[in-house]
Amino acid sequence: MNPHDIPVVAVSYNSPELLLGLLSSFRKFYPRNPIHIVDGSEAAHLAKIREVVAGFEGVQLHAMEYNIHHGPGMAWAIQNLNLTGPVLFMDTDVLVIREGFIEALMAELQPGDYGAGGVAYVNRDGFDIDYAYGAVAYLHPPCMLCNVEVMREWPMPIKHGAPMVAPMLALHDAGKSGLLKNLPWCANDVLMGTKKVYIDHIGKGTSTATGSYNLDEWMAEMAEKRKREAADMAARAGSYNPDLLKLMPTGAKVLEVGCSTGVLAAAYQAQHGKTDYWGIEFDPKAAEVARRHCTQVMALDVEGMSDKELGELASRDCWVFGDVLEHLRDPWRLLARIRKVLPPGGCVVASVPNAQHWSLQAKLAIGDFRYTDGGLMDRTHLRWFTRQTLLEMFINAGYKMEAGVPRIFNEPGREKVLPVIRAMAQVTGQSPDQAVADALPLQYVVRFSAA
């Protein structure tokens, strides 16, 4: 398809001067693309909007005569206009400064892709975050080229401060975020204060011109939610496991398996000084972030390493598995293989969720064994351990226990369940006290050395 034939969709609201800037700069380089303006302006501004549109050929105004909002405006165009193939979506607070950006987007977008543009990461509420596990890939709408037929297969954009959050969440949850293609220049050009390549995104131009996005209810709700989340995060003392950090020996040559974005590495080095800290991380995006805090990070599958490759890690005297063993296919075999290359005095430090936790026992008793997006029933857990089976795994692999911490929290509801657990132990001839003690920890943190 010729880049000059790609249809363009922009949503306008009470900002004729911004629309004039977009159309003037766009037509300077692309004189014939059909352009659709979905407008939600109030009557006082609509006349000027009509005047702006009339000054350009090939521009069609779709006046809603009510504030349709950005997301629903895009959704209306997707569902009601006779659009096929690639469609360019642009914000009205964008200025085109150089020819070639449509061509660059077209070169990246493949048939079957959702869209190409600037891809960043948000949480499930649509707020920008650094990449981490659970982060949602988000295609920013100020400038994105999308296959409109693919867009129609997913949820539509919505009324929201991040209008693309509904389709992005759906893609993420379906494991299809790979249908989004990131162009570094586009991600750069939609940010404030950067040296622009093809476009200049003024940033909140509509908000500045009109006073607000008219999303006050959403903003208030999200602000309150963020306060609650901030308080919860503060109560949990950060995003790494402090008990895991305590069991890691001082001055160790660490190899953290599943180092994620390097949060534990940063905490360890803040406490012990700059050390030779290595990481293994299967997710290449997380590995890229972790390199800020680790001496080196290997993006690989630790269970797929050959004996020779494992042997090359014999200098590491502290292997760390922070909530990782339960995700492995065969943690028993991996621990035994590590034991063979572990130097004298070396250790393995691990945190593992407790499958004997009282809440899990209660749910299992009523058949409520449902996977979730996190916690004890995380759907990515492959293996399950109790205190007893965790000890057996390490001992059978050739280790001896040096230290251990049961992580117990003040959890509502357990006092009603613990008497039942005690009774079950009595009926089966086991120690009631031990059964209750083993039902309290949400997680175990342990350190084992070579036997």
Q: What is the pTM of this model?
A: 0.59
Reported as a single tens digit per residue, the pLDDT across 147-161 is: 999 999 999 999 988
State yes or no: pLDDT of 51 exceeds 90. Answer: yes
Identify the pLDDT of residue 238. 41
pLDDT for 54 beyond 70: yes
Least confident among 67-71, 133-137, 272-276, 381-385 = 133-137
Q: Is the per-residue pLDDT at 443 higher than 80? A: yes
Three-class HEC string of the chain: CCHHHCCEEEEECCCHHHHHHHHHHHHHHCCCCCEEEEECCCHHHHHHHHHHHHCCCCEEEEECCCCCCHHHHHHHHHHHCCCCCEEEEEECCEEECCCCHHHHHHHHCCCCCCEEEEEEEECCCCCECCCCCCCEEEEEEEEEEEEHHHHCCCCCCCCCCCCCHHHHHHHHHCCCHHHEEECHHHHHHCCCCCCCCCEEECCCHHHHHHCCCCCHHHHHHHHHHHHHHHHHHHHCCCCCCHHHHHHCCCCCCEEEECCCCCHHHHHHHHHHCCCCCEEECCCHHHHHHHCCCCCEEECCCHHHCCHHHHHCCCCCCEEEEECCHHHCCCHHHHHHHHHHHCCCCCEEEEEEECCCCHHHHHHHHCCCCCCECCCCCECCCCCCCCHHHHHHHHHHCCEEEEEEEEECCCCCCHHHHHHHHHHHHHHCCCCHHHHHHHHCCCEEEEEEEEC
Give CA separation, 423 vs 164, 369, 436, in Å. Answer: 52, 22, 10
pLDDT band at 250 (very low <50, low <70, confident <90, very high): very high
**pLDDT confidence of 231, banded at 50, 70, 90?**
very low
pLDDT above 70 coverage of the chain, percent: 92
What are the C-alpha distances in Å from 150 to residues 85, 122, 314? 9, 22, 49
Closest CA to 142 of 207, 51, 46: 207
> Which tokens go with 393?
């795994």
Which of 174 and 146 is assigned the larger pLDDT?
A: 146
Q: What is the mean pLDDT of residues 68-90?
A: 96
User: What's the pLDDT tens digit per position in 84-116?
Assistant: 999 999 999 999 999 999 999 999 999 999 999
Q: CB 103: neighbour CB atoms within 10 A?
A: 13
pLDDT grade for 204, boundaries at 50, 70 and 90: low
Between strands 115-122 and 278-280, the pairing is unpaired
pLDDT: which is higher, 70 or 207? 70
pLDDT for position 220: 57
Confidence of residue 123 (pLDDT cuts 50, 70, 90): confident
Q: Are 400 and 451 in contact (CB under 8 A)?
A: yes
Amino acid at residue number 56 = F
By the 8 A CB rule, do 355 and 385 touch? yes
Confidence tier at 124 by pLDDT (50, 70, 90): confident
**Which one of 3.40.50.10800, 3.40.50.300, 2.170.8.10, 3.40.50.150 gives the CATH number of domain 242-450?**
3.40.50.150
Give CA–CA dist 374/9, Å, rounded: 38
Are 101 and 199 within 8 A, CB to CB? yes
Q: Do the Cβ atoms of 181 and 108 come closer than 8 Å?
A: yes
Contact 213, 205 (CB under 8 A): no
- What is the model's pLDDT at position 290? 92
**Res 235: pLDDT:** 40
Q: Reply yes or no on whether the pLDDT at 284 is more than 90.
A: no
Lowest mean pLDDT among 27-36, 238-247, 385-394: 238-247
Lowest mean pLDDT among 9-18, 41-50, 217-226: 217-226
pLDDT of residue 352: 97
Q: In the prediction, which pLDDT does 237 show? A: 35
pLDDT, residue 223, reads: 57
Quick one: fold of 3-217? Answer: Spore Coat Polysaccharide Biosynthesis Protein SpsA; Chain A (3.90.550)
Domain residue limits, the chain: 3-217, 242-450
Per-residue pLDDT averaged across 431-444, rounded?
97
Q: Which two tokens stand for residue 364?
A: 């299992």
Check pLDDT > 60 for residue 219: no
Taking the C-alpha atoms of residue 117 and residue 350, their distance in angstroms, rounded to an integer, is: 40
Predicted confidence band of residue 236 (pLDDT cuts 50, 70, 90) = very low
Report the pLDDT value the prediction gives residue 129, as an integer from 0 to 100: 82
Residue 230 is predicted with a pLDDT of: 44
Whether the per-residue pLDDT at 226 is higher than 70: the answer is no
The pLDDT, as a whole number, for residue 214 is 53
